[in-house]
Every structure is written in structure tokens, then in C-alpha cells.
A and B are shown apart, each in its own frame.
Chain A
Amino acid sequence: MSNKCIIKSIAQVSCQQPLSDEWLTSPILYDESYAAAIEPNFKEFINPIEARRLGRVLKRALCTSLSALRQAGLNNPDAIITGTGMGCLENSEKFLLQLAQLGESCLKPTLFMQSTHNTISSLIGINIKCHGYNNTYSQKACSFESALLDAWLQLKAGAIKSVLVGSHDEVTPLFAKILKRNSPDFKLVSETSVASVLVAEESAQPNQIEVENVNILYRPLREELIRHITEPAVVMLGLNGNESNDRHYCELLGKVSGNPIMLHYKPIFGDNFSASAIGFYAATRLLQTGKIPEFMYHSKPAGNVIPSEITLINHYEGNTWSLIKLKKH
């Protein structure tokens, strides 16, 4: 008998108002192709002695994590599992820059210490004194799903009862240039920090959002992918306005039965390696509120839709695919 994986709380920092659902009714629209995250009030969560040493991705991760834990009324989860595509990119770049400019002496220890990808997850563990399972995944645009899959499997197996799952990525100006160079049609590149508390329940209560299924597939055949997508009513896609990215979704959806309604989130929240986490957050909010804002539709259907389940589909360069099914009870 397997547990149900329920979303207890979720928080975000992005190029929309941080730690807020204001984007649902008044999204900030961007003309530029790069938008930095809007920082929350760090002082509310982090003391100055600690904050002084932390780069932005670390501060954001602490904020969203502590916010999610507060919302869930939980001090100490059984596990902390984190995804990050590029880790503490700013610190890594600064250290590389120092190496290039100063050679191999007089380098700053703090930069190195906080350049490893697991700095984020362990920082949260240290901050809330959590001795539970702690892991970090870095698999490009599938980092969040990797963390989610690990969490989901352990919750369902009963190995843990609660977990803080998150994904965090910053985009430095240099990296933004490179992303833009790779994909000149990019509509928006931005930064993401998402944290969510998931819990194991024997059965789901009404209005609870369940993570019903998580799948990661590498270079799957079309048939393999479709086998994992069971007639969804609503799909949330990682469309980003770049033809070479978007065509994979269109080709896939063309073969999926049921004619699902297609939603997108990257035009609002921007793109980066943790963007699928913000898609997860957005889908959760849509299910909770029962409303889909106009700007989330890839193509608007006739009439209003009250979603009761959403399938999130994400891929990177058509190679690594992830499928997450969320269901409202």
C-alpha cells in the first residue's frame, strides 16, 4: 500500500513579485530578453551576519525554503532535496575570474566554499538544524524533477513523512549572454527559486493537490513518451518562444490523444535550468484557485476551464524529458 504525495506548501522568487501570488492577477510583463529576479526582503528571514557571506541564489533559496516551511507549519522536515542546474554560478564565475586575473594565489576561500552545487541544500540544513536526508541534483533543466523524483519515491515508500523540495538557479549577465547566444529567439531568460513542502498521507483530503506521478526519460522514443501521458485534459508545457525548443512540444502534442488544453509559464517567469520548478508552482496555484489566467493559455479555448489535474511536460534540447502529473482531490 503506497502513500500519497501531497503538496503542503510552496513559495517562489522569480521576475514576478517574490513570495506572492500577485502574478495571477497582475503579472509584470517584460520587453527585454533578460530579467533578474525581484529580491524578497532578505532581512525578514536571514540575519545580517549570515547574509553578508551569501550570494543571491543562496539568499533566495533560504527565503523560499523558510517561507514554505512556515506556511506548512513545519520546523524540521525529514529530508531536504534540492535541484540546481548551475549551482552558485556567480561565485563560480568570480572564482574563475580571480584565477584568470590573480593566478593561483590570494584567492578568496568564501568564493570556493560556496561554489559547490550542494551549498544550497546544506545551507538550509545548517540553518534549520535538519539532520535528515539531504541531497542535491544537477541535471540541466531536469534538476528539479530529479529532486522531486527522489522525494516522491521516498514519500511513497514511507521512508520519510515530509520533505522540503526545491530548485534554484541564478543567471549572471555572462550566462544570460551565452543563453541568448545559443537561442536568439528567446523571449525571456530569468532566475528561479522555488521551494515546496511535500508530505506523505495515506489518503488525500478534498482540495489537496497530489503529485500523482513523476517520470524522467532520456532520449525516449515518441511512443515511450506517449505511453506515459494518459489522455490529459490540461498540459503545462515548457514553451519558451524559441522554435527549436517549442517544436518538440508541438510534435509530441500532435500525437497525444484527447486534445488537451495547452498552458505555458515561461513567457511570464522566464527560462533557466530551474524553470520547470516555477511551472510546478504555477500549476499548483492554478489547481488551488481553480482559475487559469488568460496569459497562461498557449491557445485560448472557448469557455472557462476549471482544471482538476495538470500534466507538466518539460524537455531540454529534446533529450531529457520529464512528466509530472498533479491532481486536485
Chain B
Amino acid sequence: MAERVLITGYGIISALGAGIEATLDALKTERSGIDCVKYLETNHRELPVGEVKYSNAKLAKLLNAKYPVSELRTVMLGIIAAKEAVTSAKLSEDDIRNAALISGTTVGGMDFTEKHFNEVLEREADTLETEKMKYNDCGCSTELIADAIGKVKMITTSSTACSSAANAIILGANLIKSGVVDIAIVGGSEALTRFHLNGFNTLMILDKSRCRPFDETRTGINLGEGAAYLILENEKSAHRRGIKALAELKGYGNACDAFHQTASSDNGEGAYRAMSQALMMAQLKPTDIDYINAHGTGTPNNDRSELAAMERIWGASLPKFSSTKAFTGHTTSASGAIESVISILCLQHKFAPANIGWESPIKDFAVPVTQTSTAEIKNIINNSFGFGGNDSSLIFSNIN
């Protein structure tokens, strides 16, 4: 009998605010965190983004962080969310010592590197240059997050663009099922950078207004930033610690669309396979799913492809579905975890969040949830689809 993977804690920071309560409040009151650029130093001030509403200086003060952490936004966001998760699960130092930390990021310390790249080029190799490039890689961010929360048993970093955090969650679950660890701190963190804001801009998939996932008039994404972590734990450990689970990770799937580096296939093959695998692992029928937290980025391509995949599984009887990216922005590597936390909040508080800003249906396709509605929700699928066709789906279920 496969080991059950329970969620015993969670933490989050995004454009909606810092912490679980702020996030829940924003979702219920349909308050979007998307606004014009306030903190990132960029010329593209016209682009709507989902920034965390704290400057680096404020984040550093909150954390009492010293250099280099005080200069690394991805790390600071990660620490805030990871600490909240650890506290919410009441993990002791001993618990952390035997836990794995798996984090998803693509940006890593790029926010710091890009600020200083000019200096790096201007000088010959010297200590200043070395110092400024030292924190660039993904793995470095995970180390610094781990060091801030305690001594963990093992760490690694998943980096699959927009499905990074979802894949971190999947590895954590596999580590628990294999008995490598009893507890896994899993999720992801990503700060907004000029690098990827401009990168997405060159691909011409950013919307100049607030994004409208699944809307006929959609033209692209709004980038966001943030971090979220879940505490995954096996039953024995949760029981021993006397901690009540928030939800169960009942199933998951990871499949490759194998179509194109930046576009999804017309029939959503990777998405279809990821969702199907998750259902099979969870031993659930499609009709058992009460709500889908869609990837729903707001690009013409993704939304159509994702709807096609959903139709292949649910036919005409799609459950309630929505994208929450008009709330948070597309938080790229962190999205799998941020939207997992949102999904768990939906399970706990029995509601399906609105696909805010939606107005016109895509011809021949189903309509998302347009108003936040209370609903009896037992099982949720959360989709995360990354560039390159790295598609992952997670199923969260109510604890009976």
C-alpha cells in the first residue's frame, strides 16, 4: 500500500500579501495584486505586474537579513514563505534535521547579477567581480533558504521554468514514499528581474493590461513574483508529532509535451498526460474532481491548449475551473507552489476562486468560474505547465 503524503503546513508570499491570511482575504474579496511596476528598476513601467509589495530593504528588515541575503530577493521571499510553513507545521529542530528541502527556481540570484553585470564586464577578473557572480546560480538560492530555516538533511533545486515548484513537490513526495525522509519542505521562489521581464517581452506574450485567462480577448501574461512552500509528511510522522493534516497530496503527474520550446501543442498532449497520470495515481475518476486550478496564463496559445487537454479528459462535463493568475500574476517557477497553497485554501474554506477580469468566452470552449463561489470541494487538480513542455499536475484532496 503506497505511503500517504499529507500536507501539514504551508507558507506563502505574493502580490496578494505576506502570509496565508492575507492571501485568503484577497482571494475571497476578489482583490488583485496586479499593478504597475513599483520596485523593479526597469524602463517597462507600462507593463502590469504582480510584485510583492515590499522593497528589498523592507524584506531585509523583516528578516533581519545581512549581506548577501539582503541583496537577493528570490532568497528573501523564499525564507519568508519557508519559515511560515515550518512554523505552521510546528516543526522542531530535530524534525528539520531529518527533512529534505526541495525548492524550485529559475531566476535564482539573477536579480543581483543583472544589477552588477556592467561592473563585471568593465573590470578585469578581481574580487569584486567574483563576489557579484557568486550568487547567480539556482542552487545557491536553495542553500541560503535552507540555512535560514535550520539544518536540513538534504537539499536540491528543481528548475523547469513555470513548473519548477510543482516538480519540487513531486520529488518531495517521492522521497517520502521511498522512505528517504519522513518530512519534505517543498515549493519554490522567484523574484521579478529585468532579465525575464525583457525576455518574455521579446517573445511578445506580455499583456499591456491585466491578464484575462480563458477570455476571447486575452493577449498574454502579467509576470508576478513570490514564494510558497508546503510541508509534506508521512502519516506515521504526523501521528507521532500529533499534528493535524491540512490536506493530502493524493496524486501527481509529470509529462513532456515534446512539441516546442515556447508553445504548447494544439491538443495539449503533455497537459493531458500529466492530468491523466495524476488521476490514475490518486485512483480518482474525472468526475471526482470538484475544481481545477488551471495554469491559465492568459496567452492565446496556453489557454486554448489547456482547454483542449481538459476537454479530452472531461468532455462536456468540465468541473469548475479558473486561473488565479489575474490575482497574483504569473509567478513562473514559484507558481506551482503558490497555486498549491491557493488550492489547499480552497479545500479548507470550501470555495472556488473567480477567474477575475473574465468577460468573453473562447468560442466552442467552456466558461471558467466568474464569481467566487462556495462549493463542496473534495478534490482539486492544480496545473503547472513550463516552457519546453514540462507539464505537471498535482491533486490535493480533503482529509477525511
Contacts and interface: CB of A to CB of B under 8 A. Distances in A.
A and B touch in the complex (CB under 8 A): yes
Interface string A73-104: 00000001000111100001001110110011
A233 interface: no
B221 to A, nearest CB: 14
B127 A139 contact: no
Contact of B117 (A96, A117, A119, A157): A96
Nearest to A53: B261
Interface string B256-293: 11111110000001100100000000000000000000
Contacts of B117: 96-97, 99-100
Interface in B203-221: 203
B129 A178 contact: yes
B340 interface: no
Interface string B23-62: 0000000000000000000111000000000000000000
A272 to B, nearest CB: 12
B355 interface: no
B157 A137 contact: yes
Contacts of A196: none
Given A116-B161, A137-B156, A139-B155, A131 B256 contact: yes
7 contacts: A85-B137, A118-B388, A130-B256, A136-B159, A139-B156, A181-B125, A181-B127
Contact of A130 (B43, B161, B258): B258
Interface in B125-147: 125-127, 129-130, 133-134, 137-140, 142-143, 146
B194 A104 contact: yes
A140 interface: yes
B137 A138 contact: yes
Nearest to B155: A218
A182 B130 contact: yes
Contacts of B387: 113, 116, 118-119, 122
B316 interface: no
Contacts of A133: 254-256
Assign chain A's interface to a size class: 35 or more
A15 B254 CA distance: 35
B262 A113 contact: yes
A112 B167 CA distance: 22
A128 B156 CA distance: 27
Given A115-B199, A117-B106, A137 B158 contact: yes
Contacts of B201: 104, 107
B400 interface: no
Interface in A181-200: 181-182
A3 interface: no
B44 A117 contact: no
A146 B167 CA distance: 13
B301 interface: no
A146 B101 CA distance: 12
Nearest 9 pairs between A and B by C-beta?
A122-B388, A112-B199, A134-B256, A139-B139, A138-B138, A140-B139, A117-B159, A109-B202, A125-B256
A178 B161 contact: no
A150 B130 CA distance: 32
A117 B333 CA distance: 12
Given A99-B114, A125-B256, A181-B125, A131 B273 contact: yes
Interface of A: 80, 84-87, 92, 95-97, 99-100, 103-104, 107-109, 112-119, 121-123, 125-126, 128-140, 142-143, 146, 149-150, 153-154, 156-157, 174-175, 177-178, 180-182, 216-219, 273, 319-320
Given A130-B258, A134-B256, 6 more contacts: A112-B198, A113-B199, A136-B390, A138-B108, A216-B156, A218-B155
Nearest to A147: B156
Contacts of B258: 122, 125-126, 128-131
A84 B180 CA distance: 23
Contacts of A92: 195
A216 B146 CA distance: 14
Contacts of A123: 261, 388
B220 to A, nearest CB: 14
A118 B138 CA distance: 12
Nearest to A127: B258
